[in-house]
Amino acid sequence: MTYHNIPPVFDENSRILILGSFPSVKSREAQFFYAHPQNRFWKVISAVFDSECPQTVKEKKKFLLENNIAVWDVIRSCEITGSSDSSVKNAVPNDLSQILEGSRVTRVFTNGNLSYTLYNKLCLDKTGIAAVKLPSTSPANAAWSLEKLISEWKRLISEV
């Protein structure tokens, strides 16, 4: 069993929650979200909010909080091979209540298919907030160009 080792990023002003599935090996090593250099999360989210792309963990946390974004993952622990979502088995969900009770989150977005599927299966009954599925920023989602990801994320998030 592999355990999630990164605390959520949020504060009392967070209005949207973006959930991944489970941190990649690189993210677990770096102790922060979307640390793999080929993951396009930071490029996409900074473009959506018309900001410079943050580089350091400190800049990334500041960016998220300044834009009222909370970030975490659906899975607390699971069996996983490397960073492959397709290998996830026996997923145990994170307790999202600490974020929902300590913020103003009213919208939940999932980064990719697995986080969407598991959120609906393991979390929706507890949160009562329907999730909007965003296309994955993972390098494994090669069918989506950076420009197409930015356009779709911007469209979906702007509905907030």
Q: Does the model's pTM come out above 0.85?
A: yes
Contact status, residue 83 vs residue 36, Cβ threshold 8 Å:
yes
Report the share of the chain in percent with pLDDT over 70. Answer: 99
Q: At what angle do helices 41-48 and 146-157 cross, to 10 degrees?
A: 50
Contact status, residue 100 vs residue 127, Cβ threshold 8 Å:
yes
Q: What is the pLDDT of residues 114-136, one digit of tens each?
A: 999 999 999 999 999 999 999 99
CA atoms within 13 A on the CB side of 85: 21
Domain residue spans of the chain: 2-157
Fold classified for 2-157: Uracil-DNA Glycosylase, subunit E (3.40.470)
Phi, psi for residue 159 in degrees, rounded to 5: -75, -5
pLDDT band at residue 160 under the 50/70/90 scheme: low
Q: What is the pLDDT of residues 13-39, one digit of tens each?
A: 999 999 999 999 999 999 999 999 999
